[in-house]
Amino acid sequence: MISGFSRSCAARLLAGAALVTTTAACGAGSAITEAEGGRPEVVAAFYPLQWLTEQVGGSDVQVTSLTAPGVEPHDLELGIQQVTAVRNAALTVYVKGVQPAVDDAVEPDTSFDAATAVKTIPAAGGHAEEHGHAEEGAEEHEHEVAYDPHLWLDPSRLATVATKLGERLAAADAPRAKAYQDRAAKTAAALGTLDQELAQGLGTCKTRTLVTAHEAFGYLADRYKLKQVGITLDPETEPSPTRISEVAKLAKAEGVTTIFTETLVSPKVAEVLASQVGARTAVLDPLESKPSGDYMSAMRDNLRTLQTALGCTA
């Protein structure tokens, strides 16, 4: 059963004079009752979740993002106002493991972890498992998770998140339940179309190896049967000369002609590797920050970039 906005419901929805809402029968399945002009505020941790929440919530919610455009989400530190926004929000939408500061600020009954909605893939060097079912007694460093958190780069998984988010909002805001569910279904259908475009566009390629600045594209590779080779595991880690040599050797052996750089990450290491391999560089957007268009257009840009780089024929 999907819980509503339960703990201290009224306090969390009274975010200020511009957001005056009350709740009836706070608890699982409780309804949100608006005051005049009031809308429940939903906080999204970073861009893809902001886009998704805006699509599903529509005009029935006020969506704010914790991560400003151009800011690397992994580096986010929350100020007092942002922590207050999370604690006062009707719902915070996030992915556990991306932003430790957000993981610390959220509370279970007023948050939705998108990773709980889908089957995750293992983090580099990990073992495949369903989210939330790690072996008992397994030790993890604080904020580390056993799965790859970059799930938004697979539109089919993001479609599932849209459906689950619609259910969560509908359960908490019964008067608008159908509107949330209808928008969730429409969003999931659009993401399904995008998934089909990617599958067709990447169906036949000369090479299926992605050499990327860091390992952010595991879900894209998993969904479309590509092989991801990251120069580093995360954008803040400097690769050793040995690692660069290993990747260069693999890239030459597999006929890689393009080394992918990212928005928000310095291209210098990728450029060094490309010079060793005799390859060019191209930008593949991990969509961790708002692109020039929106999620859908950026993913289609990624598709065109991949088709050129991998020598794909639709």
Q: What pLDDT, on a 0 to 100 scale, did the predictor assign at position 262?
A: 86
**Which of 34, 39, 36, 15 minimizes the C-alpha distance to 23?**
34
| Cβ atoms of 147 and 129 closer than 8 Å | yes
Whether the pLDDT of residue 203 is over 90: the answer is yes
Return the higher-pLDDT residue of 218 and 27: 218
Indicate whether 266 and 126 sit together in one domain.
no
H helices of the chain, in order, are: 9-13, 47-57, 80-88, 100-105, 155-172, 177-201, 218-223, 241-253, 268-277, 295-310
Sign of CA pseudo-dihedral 186, 190, 191, 192: positive
Return the higher-pLDDT residue of 11 and 279: 279
Indicate whether 223 and 171 sit together in one domain.
no
Q: What pLDDT, on a 0 to 100 scale, did the predictor assign at position 136?
A: 34
Domain around 246: 202-310
Indicate whether 148 and 176 sit together in one domain.
yes
Please check whether residue 3 lies inside any domain of the structure.
Answer: no
| Cβ atoms of 145 and 123 closer than 8 Å | yes
Q: What pLDDT, on a 0 to 100 scale, did the predictor assign at position 9?
A: 40
Q: In the listed set 197, 232, 267, which residue is the last one of a domain according to the structure?
A: 197
Indicate whether 165 and 234 sit together in one domain.
no
Indicate whether 190 and 221 sit together in one domain.
no
Which residues make beta-bridge pairs with 211?
229, 259
Q: In the listed set 156, 181, 197, which residue is the last one of a domain according to the structure?
A: 197
Return the higher-pLDDT residue of 169 and 21: 169
Total domains in the fold of the chain? 2
Indicate whether 130 and 59 sit together in one domain.
yes
Q: What pLDDT, on a 0 to 100 scale, did the predictor assign at position 71?
A: 87
Q: Report the distance separating Cα 22 and Cα 211, nearest Å.
A: 51
Please check whether residue 106 lies inside any domain of the structure.
Answer: yes
pLDDT digits (tens, 9 = 90+) for 10-64: 334 333 323 333 333 333 333 343 433 468 899 999 999 999 999 999 999 999 9
